[in-house]
Structure 1
Amino acid sequence: MNIKSLLLGSAAALAAVSGAHAADAIVAAEPEPLEYVRICDAYGAGYFFIPGTETCLKIGGKVRTEGQWYDAYNPNSRLGTLWHTRAELRLATASDTEYGPLKTNTEIRWDWNDGNSTKTNLLHASISLGGFTVGKEDSEFNVFTGYAGDVINDDVVYDGPYELNQITYNYDAGNGFTAVISLEDTNSGTGATGSNGEDSSDHYAPDVVAGVGFKSGAWGFKVVGGYDSIVEEGAIKARVDADFGAFSAFLMGGWNTDGDKLNKYAGSNGAGDAAGIGWGDWALWGGASVPINEKLKWNVQLAYTDSKIFAATTNLTWNPVKNLTVRPEVSYTNWDSINQDQWSGILRFERAF
């Protein structure tokens, strides 16, 4: 065998071995593309898509701490300083369907007062689709009219119930006209009673709320009525709002169908010697908000009833930075029917997110 033949044979052998190794080589897999969180702007700011789904999620809440001196709802209150801290977590979901957005709203609250353990409350939990809402929310007797003024102690004079199960339909014509009808859970079950001690242990009929409203430009008007099926009485509230640019104001009036009785929609928030003192035949609320500058606003609310409850509250709302609010507030309440009154104060710090 000559040298040329040897070299050619060696080259062929090396080529065969190299080909075999190439066939057996491990090829690294391409990395899977990462799915980053996608913004979902179809339902407002703050929503994002839950990865792998077409459902949008919004996470929010607040942390609040405040000191309170005396109690605007209780003429017997002799508190020094009650320090109260609260945290709330809100979860909202939304997804598109052939009937419109399918939404949920969940809100959990934790409260702690001086010397007490933490209390947990499922504040709201509801499902909404096509204008219908089912679950636990505040009564439409409050929600539809926008509660009362922009003060902490806005319901010293009772303005309606909160936190109850309901089936509600909201209608918005898109031209300023709105309407609502709601079937709301009554206080029924073993040992349950109505607003005046009525036996409601086997009561089955829901309470009913209905309202209409119209807004045009700077003016808005709403009227809402609630019927308490246990007491078989109810109440009506009407509210006018106006924005004058330099300030905004509201006036709201309520009528109790039987001023000698309390009912779910014309009740009492009084405590101590003021417990059970309701509107009588009627109640009035009025208030104003005056922006002083971009970070500071002054608010005031006055309320008076046929039963001669007078409640006045004023505060300053200061936002030193975005989403941080500081509120010093002073309230005065007079219950003429029991010849007692009360001054109270609150200093609140709240961070929303």
Structure 2
Amino acid sequence: MKLVKSLLLGSAAGIAAVAGAQAADLPSRKAAPVEYVRVCSAYGAGFFYIPGTDTCLRVGGRVRAEYTVGTRYGDAQDAYGTRSRGRLNIDARTATAYGTLRTFFRYELTVSSGFYAGTLGGNQGIIAPGQARNLGATTASNLDLAFIQFGPITAGRAQSFFDFYANDLTFSTFRTADSRLNLLAYTATFGSGFSATVSLEDRNTGTGTRENGAFGRFNGAAIALGGQDFPDIVASLRVDQGWGSAQLSGALTQRKVLSTIAGGVVTQNSADEYGWAVQGGVKINLPMLAAGDHLFLQAAYADGALGYLGWGGQYGSGRIATAGVNQLVIGDIGVTALGNVKKSTGWSVVAALRHFWTPTLRSELAASYSELKLGYTQIAGVYAPGAPIRSLDPKELIVAGNLIWSPVSGLDIGVEVLYTRTELASRVLAADNSGARVAGFGIKSDDAWAGRLRIQRDF
């Protein structure tokens, strides 16, 4: 029995040895290493390494739904508006021997109706008196930002370096510089949070506040605005520290007046004019009130460059208009009947406060006030009977306040109330419900209220 057991064990050992030797002769293939996504903590939360590279990437975005109701100016106009917006952000950063190489991209798709279509930033209430048209729905796609930062250089579509308070708080848009445009900028840093920037900016590509044309009709005289020889030149000095931020900025822009024609006679040949603007702002952190609280204060003045005050090429919704005829157009330059060029001037102030009542409940309050002195007189047909023929020189007050609840991270549910007040130096013709001018009735001042609900998810 012992002999049989020994033979069986020996046979098994021999078979195992032979099998092992044959297996050693077979070719082997190791599994390829798996590229796992690694977290990149160098640039904040949400970044990860693109597999196989040393570039950190963050993909984010936003979905917003809004609903507004309020004042309307005729039966042909909706008393409400709705808006849906989707946003995609892509942020890629790579550490190099010269500093961080950053590429940022933001794209938006928006569908709006009612008062959102044709108003300043979708502000219901900033609608010129006499606007009685139902503007319907609009669909818009927008390359909001697309820039490269490499060391001190910023190139591409970015926020203007003139801007400071760029409608950071509330749901509404105020009279303040806020434009994303094509630019090329150089920023020098000096330590302790101080920096200075010089930027060449193409205002013709901007969002928000754009270049204003050379308008101004005086006794039938009309003028045209020629092309620029160079983009706007912007310079700013900024400081960012624990207490907050402050910035002083200035801009220089060229205005080329081609000609003035009065009665078929050219009274002004091509001439170069230059507009300019200055702005100062401060952001003060208020942790003594609550974590995250802060206050913005800002003031600006412009001469021949009203876009830097937040006034676009036209007034409010685009015009004080009836039946599509402009009654008040905002322009940078006017020409008198004698052929003399006069620039429009103006100033604005902005204040905005954010306060957290609890970590999930906050309020925002903001206001802007602006006054313009136009360098031209409107055509006589816009004035109500008996009104003096003079520049309309608008004054405008905008006030908004809201309450926002954030039940979970990245989700905001809020309501806001908006009030606007517009005053003109002279009465302009009003409109009936069909949009036709009412010959015996004029508007010199106007008040409007609006309410808005917003539900927004950021990720």
* TM-score band, normalised by shorter chain: 0.7 to 0.9
Moved more, 91-100 or 241-250: 241-250
Match of 2:169 among 133, 146, 150: 150
Q: Deviations over 1:81-132 (max 9, x none)?
A: 2111001000011112221111101011111124746432211111110121
1:175 — aligned with what?
Answer: 192
Match of 2:367 among 302, 309, 328: 302
2:320 — aligned with what?
Answer: 273
- How far is the alpha carbon of 1:321 from its aligned partner? 0.8
- How far is the alpha carbon of 1:70 from its aligned partner? 4.3
1:319 and 1:20 mapped to 2: Cα distance? 66
Q: Give 2:67's aligned amino acid.
A: G
2:35 and 2:357 mapped to 1: Cα distance? 46
Paired residues for 1:42-121 under 5 Å: 42-70=42-70, 78-114=77-113, 116=137, 118-121=139-142
Do structure 1's residue 227 and structure 2's residue 273 form an aligned pair? no
Q: Deviations over 1:51-75 (max 9, x none)?
A: 111111110111111102248xx97
The answer to whether the Cα contact below 8 Å between 2:244 and 2:283 also exists between their aligned partners in 1 is yes
- How far is the alpha carbon of 1:330 from its aligned partner? 0.9
The answer to whether the Cα contact below 8 Å between 1:234 and 1:266 also exists between their aligned partners in 2 is no
1:301 and 1:186 mapped to 2: Cα distance? 26
Residues 154 and 23 (structure 1 numbering): CA distance in 2 closer, same or farther, change over 3 Å? closer
Q: Deviations over 1:23-72 (max 9, x none)?
A: 7964442211211101112222211111111111110111111102248x
1:23 and 1:242 mapped to 2: Cα distance? 75
The answer to whether the Cα contact below 8 Å between 1:183 and 1:207 also exists between their aligned partners in 2 is yes
Q: Give 2:213's aligned amino acid.
A: S
Residues 283 and 146 (structure 1 numbering): CA distance in 2 closer, same or farther, change over 3 Å? closer
- How far is the alpha carbon of 1:336 from its aligned partner? 1.1
1:256 — aligned with what?
Answer: 302
Moved more, 213-222 or 192-201: 192-201
The answer to whether the Cα contact below 8 Å between 1:228 and 1:264 also exists between their aligned partners in 2 is no
2:137 and 2:173 mapped to 1: Cα distance? 25
Do structure 1's residue 334 and structure 2's residue 334 form an aligned pair? no
Residues 32 and 117 (structure 1 numbering): CA distance in 2 closer, same or farther, change over 3 Å? farther
- How far is the alpha carbon of 1:218 from its aligned partner? 2.3
1:51 and 1:220 mapped to 2: Cα distance? 37
Q: Give 1:105's aligned amino acid.
A: F
Moved more, 83-92 or 268-277: 268-277
Paired residues for 1:10-21 under 5 Å: none
1:219 and 1:22 mapped to 2: Cα distance? 75
2:438 — aligned with what?
Answer: none
The answer to whether the Cα contact below 8 Å between 2:211 and 2:307 also exists between their aligned partners in 1 is no
Residues 240 and 111 (structure 1 numbering): CA distance in 2 closer, same or farther, change over 3 Å? same
Identical amino acids, percent of aligned pairs:
28
2:452 — aligned with what?
Answer: 346
2:416 and 2:345 mapped to 1: Cα distance? 28
The answer to whether the Cα contact below 8 Å between 2:214 and 2:224 also exists between their aligned partners in 1 is no
Equivalenced residue count is: 329
1:249 and 1:305 mapped to 2: Cα distance? 20
- Secondary structure, counterpart of 2:308 in structure 1: coil
TM-score, with length taken from structure 1 = 0.82
- Secondary structure, counterpart of 2:30 in structure 1: coil
1:196 and 1:330 mapped to 2: Cα distance? 35
The answer to whether the Cα contact below 8 Å between 2:160 and 2:201 also exists between their aligned partners in 1 is yes
2:214 — aligned with what?
Answer: 196
- How far is the alpha carbon of 1:219 from its aligned partner? 4.8
Q: Deviations over 1:266-306 (max 9, x none)?
A: 35251242964589531111122221111111111121123
Q: Please, what is the CA RMSD of the aligned residues?
A: 3.2
The answer to whether the Cα contact below 8 Å between 1:193 and 1:199 also exists between their aligned partners in 2 is no
The answer to whether the Cα contact below 8 Å between 1:148 and 1:285 also exists between their aligned partners in 2 is no
Residues 276 and 291 (structure 1 numbering): CA distance in 2 closer, same or farther, change over 3 Å? farther
TM-score, with length taken from structure 2 = 0.64
- Secondary structure, counterpart of 2:399 in structure 1: strand
Paired residues for 1:308-327 under 5 Å: 308-327=395-414
